[in-house]
Amino acid sequence: MYRRYAEGVAIYPQAAQHPTALTIAGFDPSSGAGATADLLTFAAHGIFATAALTATTVQSTRGVFAVHAEDPGRLRETLFCLEEDLPPAGIKIGMLASTDVLSVVAEYVGHVRAQRAVHVVLDPVLRASSGATLLQAALPLAAFQTLFPLVDAITPNLSEAAALTGQPCDVPADMERCAAALKRQYPQLTVLLTGGHLSVPADLLDDDTGVNWFPGEHIATTCTHGTGCAFSTALVAARMQGRSWPAATVAAKRFVAAALRDAVPHGSGAGPMALLPQLGRRAQAGGASPAHVPTASRR
Ligand code: PLP
């Protein structure tokens, strides 16, 4: 059961000076996606971030092999414990694993919203690229009905938009229809529908000013793990830095494109991106001392 962790301690003044972000996401032990990728992304933007885990996954670059949803009571304790000491100015919500976990997150975000202004972006993750189910919910839109009214923006990809609306989402005209359908139901939502898998990649932003298209580019790399996680987190970071939705979209797209372009291979499957410049090929080519690799033959 949740209890107060810091009775009577005034927390908000220092929080305003150095804004903290929070990711509410799953743990990917291979560090390509989920909370770890989000922390790296916030760090790359100069923002200190905390993390509350919604699930532990068993995965590598080769795919997701098991998902263990977090205990909802433990997640509630974590969220309210952090809230008292490190209240976030921006929140990224990723994989939610179960409807019980989702309910706790909705309770927490509702609580925060009632206290103060906060930027909240939800990546409505349903499945991993490898196909594994990351939210156990028979009806995805119904599952999100407590959370969608509480967040500023959602960042579905094509298959998530199709699952949420029950409509096909394969070509740009479908994307406009799906975004409009979501906005009809939740008019306060900014919908950022990512079309990285279109034949000509482009993202659609449907916000209060109307529909805007942001052309993308195809970047040839196998290091594509966690692109959705990093994109939605970079959006929160850009909003915390005061950018409009269109400017935040451009900034988040640039961030992910650079992280993809700069990535060096790790693992034998979909490898991690270079979310920090120090992890990328430019730093390594430029003489940043690579990690020491022990060699078995040196005896
Ligand atoms: N694992 C976790 C914990 C995630 O949060 C996500 C995406 O949100 C994934 C895996 C899936 O990443 P990908 O679609 O790049 O495989």
Which residue, by CA, sits nearest to atom 11 of ligand 1? 128
Per-residue confidence (pLDDT) for residue 284, from 0 to 100: 81
Per-residue confidence (pLDDT) for residue 297, from 0 to 100: 47
**287 pLDDT tier (thresholds 50, 70, 90):** low
Report the C-alpha gap between 51 and 54 in whole angstroms.
10
Per-residue confidence (pLDDT) for residue 138, from 0 to 100: 86
Q: Is the CB of 204 under 6 A from ligand 1?
A: no
Q: Count of CB atoms within 10 A of residue 85's CB?
A: 13
Percent of the chain with pLDDT over 90: 84
Per-residue confidence (pLDDT) for residue 6, from 0 to 100: 44
Q: Is the CB of 182 under 6 A from ligand 1?
A: no
- Tens digit of pLDDT for each residue in 157-192? 999 999 999 999 999 999 999 999 999 999 999 999
**291 pLDDT tier (thresholds 50, 70, 90):** low
The mean pLDDT of 81-87, rounded to a whole number, is 97
Q: Is the CB of 271 under 6 A from ligand 1?
A: no
Per-residue confidence (pLDDT) for residue 10, from 0 to 100: 41
Residue 298 pLDDT > 60, yes or no?
no
Percent of the chain with pLDDT over 70: 90
In the chain the first and final C-alpha atoms are separated, in Å, by 56
Report the C-alpha gap between 253 and 232 in whole angstroms.
10
Residue 289 pLDDT > 70, yes or no?
no
Q: Is the CB of 256 under 6 A from ligand 1?
A: no
- Measured CA distances, 289 to 61, 130, 179, 261, 275 (Å): 25, 33, 46, 20, 18
> Which atom of ligand 1 lies nearest, measured to the CA of 225?
15
- Mean pLDDT lowest among 134-138, 152-156, 177-181, 266-270: 134-138
Q: Is the CB of 225 under 6 A from ligand 1?
A: yes
**149 pLDDT tier (thresholds 50, 70, 90):** very high
Question: Nearest Cα to 18, choosing from 109, 89, 93?
Answer: 89
- Tens digit of pLDDT for each residue in 1-14? 444 544 434 444 45
The mean pLDDT of 43-64, rounded to a whole number, is 98
Q: Is the CB of 26 under 6 A from ligand 1?
A: yes
DSSP string, 13-39: HHHHHS-EEEEEEEE-TTSSSHHHHHH
67 alpha carbon to ligand 1 midpoint, in Å?
11
Per-residue confidence (pLDDT) for residue 282, from 0 to 100: 83
Averaged pLDDT score across all residues of the chain: 92
